[in-house]
Amino acid sequence: MPAGRSPRVGIQLPEVERPVAWAEVLAIARAAEESGFDSVWAGDHLLYRAGSERPHETGPHEAWTLLAALAASTERVELGPLVACTAFHPPAVLAKMAAGIDAISGGRFVLGLGAGWNRDEFDAFGLPYDRRVSRFEEAFTIIRGLLAGERVTVDGRFHSAADAVLHPAPAAPTKLMIGSNGPRMLGLALPHVDAWNTWYEDYGNSAEGFAALNARISAAAREAGRDPGQVQRSACAFVLVDRSAPERAVDPAFPPLEGDANRLAERLRELADAGADEIILVVSPITERSVRELGDVVAALRGA
């Protein structure tokens, strides 16, 4: 991305902060669309146990159900899971669900994919946690083939498909995004995906940290035989809107972005200059009010 160019800006919906009813989720998504945001993202998790980071057991709404409802309830923003765990569904069924949401949204769906990491939810829901990258490799082969409109046959160790095909056929290949920094995962996905995403903790929530990680992703793309310029870069960024009502812990290892609209817009431009094509805001507190206030940041980025 050329220096000074404004990035696309997205919002992550509530995930672990507090119990959130569907009506509030919808209000937040619609506020994002009305406030000029480019995308809305839902975490794909089943359960978080209570622990040091959260006092109570919790979990978000089921991501695919939520995204289907949002696809029918919004008009402009891109939508996607941040990111979908390939272990939660048979891969051909996951591809079928993705194609359905893409059709409902009119082509606004982005399929973020990963192998999963939260063992508690795997164990609670009876899902195998071992050999996650090997399982992802087979699942990814099936998913990307089907979403490209191919007939797919795979006889793998963990997953299989026998002349599987999607009907109705996808109008166009669904956009794919990998959510991982692991060398093996990157080697599997970068030859095929449209975009890569990273969480704010993985680069310290700073432009300098993102630039260093982004350079590693470019090197991984070249090693995988891909032109780095063909892979869009997506960075989650932790934004603290109100210190008096925080919903996520503030850690000095990755201090939040904060300040008025112009200051926040400046920080997002720094991330863009470091290589981020899209910045997905992880907001504390994540409320309709916060999203509407952050609309001023989007406007400042675009010179409005």
pLDDT digits 0-9 by tens, 12-38: 999 988 889 999 999 999 999 999 999
Residue 8: the pLDDT is 98
The H or E element spanning position 284 is strand 278-284
The answer to whether residue 3 scores a pLDDT higher than 50 is no
Separation of alpha carbons 4 and 106, rounded Å: 31
pLDDT in tens, 79-136: 999 999 999 999 999 999 999 999 999 999 999 999 999 999 999 999 999 999 999 9
Mean pLDDT of the chain: 95
- For the chain, percent of residues with pLDDT exceeding 70: 98
CA angle 288, 254, 248 (to 5 degrees): 35
Give the three-class secondary structure for 232.
Answer: strand
Residue 304: the pLDDT is 58
Q: Which two tokens stand for residue 298?
A: 């989007």
Task: Please state which of the ranges 46-60, 232-246, 263-277 shows the lowest mean pLDDT.
Answer: 46-60
As beta bridge partners, residue 161 has 154
Give the three-class secondary structure for 175.
Answer: strand
As beta bridge partners, residue 70 has none
CA 19 to chain centre: 20
Confidence band of 224 (pLDDT split at 50, 70, 90): very high
Task: Please state which of the ranges 2-11, 43-52, 224-233, 288-297 shows the lowest mean pLDDT.
Answer: 2-11
Residue 283: the pLDDT is 97
Contact residues for 15 (Cβ-Cβ < 8 A; gap 6+) = 42, 43, 45, 60
* 3-state helix vs strand vs coil in the chain, percent to 5: 40, 20, 40
* 124: number of Cβ within 10 Å: 14
Contact residues for 270 (Cβ-Cβ < 8 A; gap 6+) = 207
Average pLDDT over residues 151-155: 98
What distance separates the 2 farthest-apart alpha carbons in the chain? 56
Separation of alpha carbons 171 and 148, rounded Å: 10
End-to-end Cα spacing for the chain: 21
Average pLDDT over residues 286-299: 97
DSSP 170: P
Residue 55: the pLDDT is 78
pLDDT in tens, 48-84: 998 867 778 999 999 999 999 999 999 999 999 999 9
